[in-house]
Amino acid sequence: MKLLRELLFPLIAVIAAFIVGGILILIIGDDPIVAYKLLIGSALSWPDGIGYTLFYATPLIFTGLAVLVALRCGLLNIGAEGQLYVAAFATAWVGITFAHLSAWLLLPLCFLAAIVAGGVWGAIPGVLKARFGSHEVINTIMLNFIAVALVSYFTQYHYKTPGDPIMQTTEIGGGAHIARIGKILPGFPERIPLNLAFILALVCCVLVYLFLWRTKWGYELRATGSNPTAAEYGGISIRKQIIIAMTISGSLAGLVGINEVLGYRYRYYDGFSSSYGFTGIAVALLGRNHPVGVLLSAILFGMLIRGGIFVDAFTNNVTKDLVDVLQGVVILFVAAEALFRGPFGRFGLLKRSKV
Amino acid sequence: MSQALLECADIQKSFGGVPVLKGITLDLQPGTVTALAGENGAGKSTLMKILYGMQAPDEGVMKVFGNEVHFAKPTDAIALGIGMVHQHFMLVSTMTVAENIVLGAEPGSEVALDLNKASTNIRKLSEEFKLAVNPHAVIEHLSVGQQQRVELLKALYRQARVLILDEPTAVLTPQEVDEFFAILRGMRQQGKTVVIITHKLSEVLAISDEVTVMRDGRVVGQVATKDTNAAELARMMVGREVLLRVEKPDADVGTTGLLVKNLSVSTSDGSKRVNGVSFEVRKGEILGIAGVEGNGQTELIEALAGLVTPAHLTGEIRLEGRDITRVDARSRRELGIAHIPEDRHRRGLLLDFSLAENSILGVHYRKPVVSTAGIFLDNQAIRKRAAQIIEDFDVRPTNQELPARALSGGNQQKLIIGREFDLRPKLLLVSQPTRGVDIGAIEFIHRKLVALRDEGCAVLLVSAELEEVTALADRLLIIHEGRIVGDVDPKVATIEEIGLLMTGGH
């Protein structure tokens, strides 16, 4: 029952988004039913549709979890984008620099690079907030710019194959590759880039859940987010929690680098992230700040990305910007929840159904 | 009986299917003071919100001078002469008295604001109702008592005939309360109708002509004040006999529990909130600290609990002889300091967390609520602990999965007290233990505090309720502007004497 109630609002938001999107498609001059059939059909076909949907969902699970952990501590991490760029580059750097090492050494090192680089990039605004009280939103945004510029610089001037017109580094060592699902699942084509990072993302959902709700550390983090003054009263150091939360958040965002570098391109490709870090905020919000919700909404967003490509190609007028519209409307409705619930609930829509 | 100024008949209201008002009938005569008494959750506030147009009743009729009315918003009520002073003042602190008073009812043309005209009107009103206040003073420079007068003026300026006052004395000193009551009597003489919401029985008896007692959404008694007494009112409010006096044997005092030497606490802007305070609390005694709120009590208790950054502290704090001045909050708890904070929403509870989760705040990182591995919370142990506290301290409802937010103030307080008592403290810091708590629960909390004292705990009690602090404390210090200005025997000292010390008089 409780689960149903939790699901109700995201569901309404999604349905509403599709209705609004449908009206738009009509105005543009296409048939919404056809467009949506195309969207969902292409996103859920076997094996390509599902494979790509989950592949697109993977980075969003990581960034969604990253935003979630910070939010549970009362912090808004808008810096997942920067964190994942730094981490992806660090992963590639380790994979290139230590390419000669065996997989047993190289793979853990690459993982560590992603976790540490993302964690450090996340910890910086955490420390700044804990130490000087400067707002994490401002600092994470600023650090995004720095991260993007920094990794572009290194790619361009230090790690590019000379003469390569594409902004990408040289390849990482073979030992650092992680298997594509096609290698493991019989009958699943290996050309689909869905890889073991997706399994890692699932594991992270479980770990984040256990951490937040089953450990004393998670209790302290959530207590700080729920009521910092009460947490302080309970002997919890708010400053410490802020730093911990931002570090974990950064590390989770950093895991995007594993999917991208170790599982997909085997190199750092500049500008690879299509706003995964920012979409992660929407994923966490739509997922009601819970790992299960994050998983579900990341998959939904993955479907939209996958299906959007087909809608773009096979309709007359609709472009894949439709996906952005759908995402935008979903977020608007999720954000509008305050209108329906909470002390400012004006419409009493859910008040009655609540009891 | 003359024509009622305001009457309501069979008012009903429910929220989400839960009835809060179950048929309230009330009529208010001009030139009377009616006290509306009742425990928290009795429905007083809801009724007042309906009278003031903030909420609409589900059923029932309201009449003003015999004419049926329907209020859609407070301005409708204001237009018919109903004014309300909220417990938390609705003033813009950077604007002047006059600006605040005219806000929303500005005189002059559509564009130009005629403040001079307003000031003249305000002065006239101040004189008429003896509400001395300078119209040009800025709100933030006024005392709480003066701000309250501004609130009253605001209502009178809008020609209120009925004034609804929500817990108006909660923020006042005993002297200010006397002045305030004098003002109310003046208003009554001028024919105004006053409704005062309060749970302080002494005030009901002191000021009102009529008392309406509410319990559980119903009116359970309507009596003339002169025909009743405190014990009867308390019985009506709670529904059973209530012991109004605190029964306690003489303190069996042991060695020094807490020693405070020359303690000063300053805020980040450098102003000293506690100024060179020294005292000791011995085991087995309750040391009371009386004072008008905002005279350093909060900072003192927080400093003792370890919630003030050491940089803002000077002086010495010793627990059983051990210097703990630089020890953090967690370690202080481990050394045996429990703390019942004055503001349970700000400090005491994680409102969105369940009762079970709240029951472990402060001990959440150690055995027995953390499993042997030292990382994972042991849900079974937590549930057991929560169930114990809920049972021992009569927390209702007993479902420990409910968020703390769902509990009434009294039950939230009992949960906190239960949690802190469970630490078996050597020193208990307790601030406003019964604020916003029902009479029945107050009695319970007082008994528990005395029982803890008798077990040999040193108790430091801060309360703005003079009656409470004099009844519970074995010794009483009076704090004023961060200094201890008096040390009296609560059995001997009179309320007037203490009140005078509280305001800095001699």
Residue range A269-327, pLDDT digits in tens: 999 998 999 999 999 999 999 999 999 999 999 999 999 999 888 888 888 888 888 88
Of A101, A315, B297, B142, residue with least CA distance to B132: B142
Rg (CA), chain B: 24
Question: Cβ–Cβ of B347/A233 closer than 8 Å?
Answer: yes
pLDDT value at A213 more than 90: yes
**Which CATH number covers residue A145?**
1.10.3470
Q: Is B18 on the interface with A (CB under 8 A)?
A: yes
Of B177, B200, B176, B172, residue with least CA distance to B293: B172
Judge residue B240's burial from the number of C-beta atoms within 10 Å of its C-beta, 0-12 exposed, 13-18 middle, 19 or more buried.
Answer: exposed
Give how far the C-alpha of residue B243 lies from the chain's centroid of Cα atoms, to the nearest Å: 21
Contact in structure between B157 and B105 (CB atoms under 8 Å): yes
Range of the domain at A105: 53-307
Q: Is A135 on the interface with B (CB under 8 A)?
A: no
Rounded Cα distance, B266 and B275, in Å: 8
Q: Give bridge partners of residue B376 from the DSSP assignment.
A: A215
Q: Residue A339 has what pLDDT?
A: 60
The residues spanned by each domain of chain B are 6-238, 245-336+425-433+456-506, 342-423
Give how far the C-alpha of residue A126 lies from the chain's centroid of Cα atoms, to the nearest Å: 19
Rounded Cα distance, A201 and A257, in Å: 12
- Mind listing the pLDDT tens digit for each residue in B266-320? 988 888 899 999 999 999 999 999 988 788 999 999 999 999 999 999 999 999 9
Q: How many angstroms away from the CA of A134 is the closest CA of chain B?
A: 16
Q: Is B329 on the interface with A (CB under 8 A)?
A: yes
Rounded Cα distance, B468 and B178, in Å: 19
Contact in structure between B211 and B35 (CB atoms under 8 Å): yes
Chain B, 381 to 440: residues with Cβ < 8 Å from chain A are: none
Rounded Cα distance, A295 and B2, in Å: 69
Question: Cβ–Cβ of A355/B18 closer than 8 Å?
Answer: yes
Question: Cβ–Cβ of A230/B361 closer than 8 Å?
Answer: yes
Question: Cβ–Cβ of A216/B377 closer than 8 Å?
Answer: yes
- Structural domains counted in chain A: 1
Best A71, A211, A227, A346 member to test B by mutation, with max B CBs in 10 Å, is A227
Q: Nearest by CB to B364, which of A216, A351, A355? A: A216
What distances in angstroms separate CA B274 from CA A39, B294, B300, B303, one per listed residue?
67, 10, 6, 10
Element (H, E) at B222: strand B218-224
Q: Give bridge partners of residue B484 from the DSSP assignment.
A: B479
Q: Residue A114 has what pLDDT?
A: 97
Give the model's confidence band at B116: pLDDT under 50 very low, under 70 low, under 90 confident, else very high.
Answer: confident
Rg (CA), chain A: 21
What distances in angstroms separate CA A222 from CA A7, A245, A289, B50, B492, one per listed residue?
22, 10, 12, 38, 49
Contact in structure between B474 and B494 (CB atoms under 8 Å): no
Give how far the C-alpha of residue A146 lies from the chain's centroid of Cα atoms, to the nearest Å: 20
Q: How many CB atoms lie within 10 A of CB B275?
A: 16
State phi, psi for A140 to the nearest 5 degrees: -70, -40
The CATH number of B6-238 is which of 3.30.710.10, 3.10.310.30, 3.40.50.300, 3.40.50.11540?
Answer: 3.40.50.300
- The CATH number that domain B245-336+425-433+456-506 falls under is 3.40.50.300
pLDDT value at A62 more than 80: yes
Q: Nearest by CB to A230, which of B328, B349, B377? A: B349
Residue of A nearest to B343 (CA): A230
Matching CATH topology for B6-238 and B245-336+425-433+456-506? yes
> In this structure, is residue A162 part of a structural domain?
yes
Contact in structure between B386 and B411 (CB atoms under 8 Å): no
Q: Residue B503 has what pLDDT?
A: 77
Q: Is B364 on the interface with A (CB under 8 A)?
A: yes
Q: How many angstroms away from the CA of A22 is the closest CA of chain B?
A: 35
> In this structure, is residue A116 part of a structural domain?
yes
User: Which residue type does B369 have?
Assistant: V
| φ/ψ bin of B172: left (φ > 0), alpha (ψ from -120 to 50), beta (otherwise) | beta
Contact in structure between A188 and A182 (CB atoms under 8 Å): yes
